Structure 1
Amino acid sequence: MSILFGLLPALVVVALLALVIVWANRRHAAGAGAGGDPHPIRRFFQYLLLFGLLVVAAIGTSNLLARLFGSTTRAPGPSPYPGGPDPALLLAQDLAFSIVGIPLVALIAAWTWRSHRRDPEESRSGVYAVHATLMALVALLVSALALQALVGAAAYRPHLDADAAGRFIVWGAIWVAYWLLARRSLPAVHRGPHLVLGSMVGLVLVTLGFVRLVGTSLDMLVRPGEVIGIGGQLAGALGLFLAGALVWVRYWVTATAREPRTPLWLLHVLVLGVGGGLVLALLGASLLLWDTLVWFVGDPGQTTARLHFAGATSQFAAVLAGALVWWYHRSALAHGGTTGRTEVQRVYEYLVSAIGLGATAAGVGTVLVALIESVTPGVDVGMSVRNTLLSAVTLLVVGIPVWLTFWLAIRRKVAADPPAEVASRTRRIYLALLFGLAGVAAAIALIIVAIGLMQDVVVSQVSGATLRSMRYGLGVLVAAAAVSTYHGTVWREDRTIAPVPPVPAEAAPRWIILVGPAAPDLVRDVEQATGAHVELWSTAGEVGHWDREALVAALAEHTGPSALVLAQDGPPQVLDVSMAGRPLD
């Protein structure tokens, strides 16, 4: 009887879904007849239904498979957990999800397949791309975590995790289907997000698995028998590392790394790979150094070194993992096949410099916090004054070398080519972001300081304790002021450097077509030098070559509104052409 009651909600869901499908078809026909465009609404409901039904069917089917494999959590009889759900109700739910979900998935999938065959625009729609990408990523994450559980169970106490096996089979099959679907039906512009986001998932999983695996292995070596359940932790870490490695290799190594360097590709490499790896390494190094300083010259909370340095293995693993991630993605940027200095290189240098600057600024603010704590009355909660000062020293020791290394390199390149470096978009955005973030931080800190001061003023209790209550806000204010003051001088120096003189407006072409071999960044360089709209038409084979300086010089002498430039072995040939019928602005 409980199974029948469990099926009733599923029957209601079937009726509602059928009504929605009929309504969507009627709206499609009515909109087409009235000259409207009902496709976005119909696609939204169509792919939303397909996504939800796939999830329902996958949950039900994976749970039934888990029962078949001998799952103890869903075995018949009393619940294995006190107060847990009735296994009969769970069986009813799994049956309902499977019996209702699978036929409806087949129905809507068949409808979707027919609509794609009738109208090729269906495969190029953004809604379909979002559905395929989201479904593939959800299936990827669930199956990867299920694989982790399977490997962990097999490595620790060799047995089959029935629940994980059911999830891995079902969700793994869904992922394979959507991987093939995305590769074959999505246009190139829509495949990028799927590949890049999958690479991000793989990188995060394999990095976390590496940190846990190395940290737990070191614990077994240096603290044998002291960590409870370390065998299970090691097995779980191994499973996470293997699952993440498989995902990362499939998405990044064999697919995304070979794709064109789109903005999303660069965002992944620069932000998550370079920036995330460096932050992870610096964080691990900071904690490791701080623990060391506290033990020798600070106020350790533990009486034995083994207890105090209990987290040192994980911190060392984080340093190693972050350094590897940073080094690999830095190398990926360097193998771009371009010569000369590019905006991507500038973004990398300014990004790493900003990370080092952030740690340095935090250290400066923390120094002030420690000084205020040392001269004002109050009770140290959580951290002593000495340990606070050591945390400031740690941030400065870690942050200053990174910031100075990259910032001084940037300064040398500015000195070597001032106009090009000062005029670069990356440098302008970097300075603007620093001023903006420093201003926002200073404003928030000033409000916090004012609140702390006014509270004691109102009750006439202004004292040294008042200054102590404002120490964190004052620390942020000092750090923000230091960052703004220094970079204000940099900004004023930039204004004194004369930019590259542009081509006179009355003589500059407004539309330029370049015909010759492909040359990365050539279009951007010519657009910056001339202010014109530039297109590059690549020729088959290596016909001629591009000399940027000769090209800009030749265009500077061209007086027509449009130009066709042919690459040659010598100076480029500039032809005056008519762009009738094409806008010049």
Structure 2
Amino acid sequence: MTSTTPNPGVTPAVGGVQTVRRLITYLLLAITVIIAANGLSGLLERLLTVNRVEVVFDNEGLATSLAAALIAGPLAALLWWLTWRDSASARDRASVTWPVYLVILSTAALLTATITLFSWIANAITVGWDPYRLAGGIVWALIWLWHYWMWQHPSKGPTRLPGAAPALASLIGLSYAAGGLVWALSRLVDSAVDTVAGSVLLSDPVWQLVLQSLVWAVGGGLLWWWHWLRVGVRAQNFGFSNVLLVFIAGVASLAVLALGLTLTLSVILELVTGAQQPIAVTLAPLGTAIASTVVGALVFVYHARVVASRSVGVRAASRLASTGVSLAYAATGVGVTINALLATTSNSILEGNIRSLLLGGLSALLVGGVLWWMTWRPLAASTPELVATPGRRIYLVVIFGLSALVALITLLVIGFQLFSFLLDGGSGETFVERSRQALGLLTATVLVAAYHFAIWRKDRVSDVAQEPIRRIDHLTLVTSGGSAELIDTLRAATGARVTVLQRAAAVDGEPDAAALVTALDGVEASSVLVLAGANGSVEVIRLNG
């Protein structure tokens, strides 16, 4: 079940009326499946409560469930039969609407099934029997299994968007597992802090709260393990799986880790500088802080190791994404710190929330700044090695553009506050007090924009080639292998978007990367097909469009 290259391509589906036919059919199928699922859930709920005293004789609800199940159900079956019959066609299998439908419905069914079933198990610990969630979870789990079977069907499954549905399922499972672990660990830390601080909180027993969180953690972990390892999402080295990996390793996990570190440092600074509030209030964020730090670090370290084994483009994208997240934390810290300092013009730094605001801003600035320094390496930012990083120029333009947009919006806010202050001077607030949040944000964005604009200008005059010369738009390679290094070599040599099609049967003596690059030397076309044959033979075919 594991795969490392996309499924073999077939002739693309024709457009026009056939595309409209598919869109309408899949849309109607999705609607009827959803309606029928809700009806079946209602009927199953009544079946599960038929011998219990809490059953309610709701004729209107029963009629709704019967109508949804007995009318939408057969219609869904008919539409599915028509769709499944046409899916034997190579053109329908190659249509993008077929995998899009399966991705959307299977993901929606998986979300609904897991949320309802995990909630049912968690609530059973404290509340008890809940037939509503159980019925819905069973029905939607069956729908997910049905769509999963269609996705994996050897002769009728889609040939496009390989691995998209399993990759999304693995992300859902990882989110459940990480969220459950954070919640369980934070409850344990909060319980220990409450014991030390001597505070008494009226809530459910800690073991119940932890056990409920572990239900989500274990369930999500199993879901992630099945798709990540058994289905083979980890081994996929193309398309959506790479995007997912960059998001997890470069954005989500680092954001959680940075949040935990920021909260932890903020609590430490509050204690070191002499907290003015009760100790229990000061230590309140510590549970979430420690749990986020631990879980975020585990997820980040694991996926960073996976990223290290991927192509140069994936590694560069992950590092730039991490740099962007770190920069966002540092810029937020600058804005919040300036906001707090401006507040001291009319109030004492020890009054109200100004002190906590200042310490929080300094914490975000320190954590985000350190992470940014580690990922961006500003002292070596203009070295040829880093200037040649794939996607670096795009990153600089995006950061500069976003900073300029935020600066424009904050300028409009400051202008509004200025005119409001001039027209309504009797409110008692100073102009600085009115606009200190916007002034802090403006300062941070101006600094970010100025720095990245300067780096971008320096890169432009550099003699380092940042972007490969694009001689071929799309290169399709038919081979028995197709490693990440081979794809990187072809992409660097031609500037093309590379797609690898796996041979059904391996051949002996396939050409290496150097031979393929030599065969492509001087070839310029919008689309090229490269056949890597036996005994080092290479056939290059120029395609139209």
TM-score (norm: length of structure 1): 0.76
Counterparts of 1:22-171 in structure 2, within 5 Å, are 37-70=16-49, 75-77=54-56, 87-117=58-88, 119-156=89-126, 159-171=128-140
Instruction: Give 1:260's aligned residue.
Output: 236
Among 158, 172, 175, which residue is 1:187 paired with? 158
> Is structure 2 residue 460 aligned with structure 1 residue 490?
no
Give the whole-Å Cα distance in 2 for the aligned partners of 1:511 and 1:172.
Answer: 39
Q: How many residues of Structure 1 are paired with residues of Structure 2 in the alignment?
A: 518
Instruction: Give 1:29's aligned residue.
Output: none
Kept in 1: contact 2:163–2:236 (CA 8 A): no
Counterpart of 2:236 in 1: which secondary structure?
A: coil
Instruction: Give 2:320's aligned residue.
Output: 350
Give the whole-Å Cα distance in 2 for the aligned partners of 1:131 and 1:560.
Answer: 38
**CA offset at residue 239 of structure 1?**
2.2
Instruction: Give 2:220's aligned residue.
Output: 244
Instruction: Give 1:20's aligned residue.
Output: none
Counterparts of 1:443-462 in structure 2, within 5 Å, are 443-459=408-424
Give the whole-Å Cα distance in 2 for the aligned partners of 1:488 and 1:63.
Answer: 59
* CA pair 254-113 structure 1, distance change in 2 beyond 3 A: same
* CA pair 122-515 structure 1, distance change in 2 beyond 3 A: closer
| Structure 1 unaligned blocks of 5 or more | 1-34, 78-85, 568-572
Among 388, 396, 408, which residue is 2:357 paired with? 388
> Is structure 2 residue 365 aligned with structure 1 residue 400?
no
Kept in 2: contact 1:299–1:386 (CA 8 A): no
> Is structure 2 residue 437 aligned with structure 1 residue 472?
yes
Among 296, 320, 332, which residue is 1:322 paired with? 296
Kept in 2: contact 1:422–1:494 (CA 8 A): yes
* CA pair 327-170 structure 1, distance change in 2 beyond 3 A: same
> Taking every aligned residue pair, what percent have the same amino acid on both sides?
25
* CA pair 488-216 structure 1, distance change in 2 beyond 3 A: same
Instruction: Give 1:13's aligned residue.
Output: none
* CA pair 324-36 structure 1, distance change in 2 beyond 3 A: closer
**CA offset at residue 267 of structure 1?**
1.5
Give the whole-Å Cα distance in 1 for the aligned partners of 2:457 and 2:433.
Answer: 36
Among 507, 513, 518, which residue is 1:540 paired with? 507
> Is structure 2 residue 520 aligned with structure 1 residue 520?
no
Counterpart of 2:463 in 1: which secondary structure?
A: coil
* CA pair 203-535 structure 1, distance change in 2 beyond 3 A: closer
Give the whole-Å Cα distance in 2 for the aligned partners of 1:353 and 1:265.
Answer: 21
Kept in 2: contact 1:67–1:74 (CA 8 A): no
Give the whole-Å Cα distance in 1 for the aligned partners of 2:24 and 2:54.
Answer: 37
> Is structure 2 residue 284 aligned with structure 1 residue 313?
no
**CA offset at residue 128 of structure 1?**
2.5
The higher radius of gyration belongs to 1
**CA offset at residue 89 of structure 1?**
2.1
Give the whole-Å Cα distance in 2 for the aligned partners of 1:504 and 1:322.
Answer: 39
Give CA-to-partner distance per residue, 1:118-139, whole Å, 9 cap, x none. x443333333222222221122
Equivalent position amino acid for 1:218 in 2: V
**CA offset at residue 255 of structure 1?**
2.0
Counterparts of 1:361-440 in structure 2, within 5 Å, are 361-376=331-346, 384-408=353-377, 412=380, 415=383, 418=384, 421-440=386-405
Give CA-to-partner distance per residue, 1:269-326, whole Å, 9 cap, x none. 111343101101111221222233234426554x2x2343233212211111111111
Give the whole-Å Cα distance in 1 for the aligned partners of 2:55 and 2:467.
Answer: 80
Give the whole-Å Cα distance in 2 for the aligned partners of 1:501 and 1:129.
Answer: 35
* CA pair 246-518 structure 1, distance change in 2 beyond 3 A: closer
Equivalent position amino acid for 2:74 in 1: P
Specify which structure has the bigger relative contact order, considering alpha-carbon pairs within 8 angstroms and separated by 6 or more residues.
2
Instruction: Give 1:228's aligned residue.
Output: 203
Equivalent position amino acid for 1:361 in 2: A
Give the whole-Å Cα distance in 2 for the aligned partners of 1:427 and 1:296.
Answer: 40
Give the whole-Å Cα distance in 2 for the aligned partners of 1:515 and 1:277.
Answer: 36
Give the whole-Å Cα distance in 2 for the aligned partners of 1:63 and 1:196.
Answer: 31
* CA pair 449-153 structure 1, distance change in 2 beyond 3 A: closer
Give CA-to-partner distance per residue, 1:398-441, whole Å, 9 cap, x none. 11211111222x754853xx1x6424441101111111111111
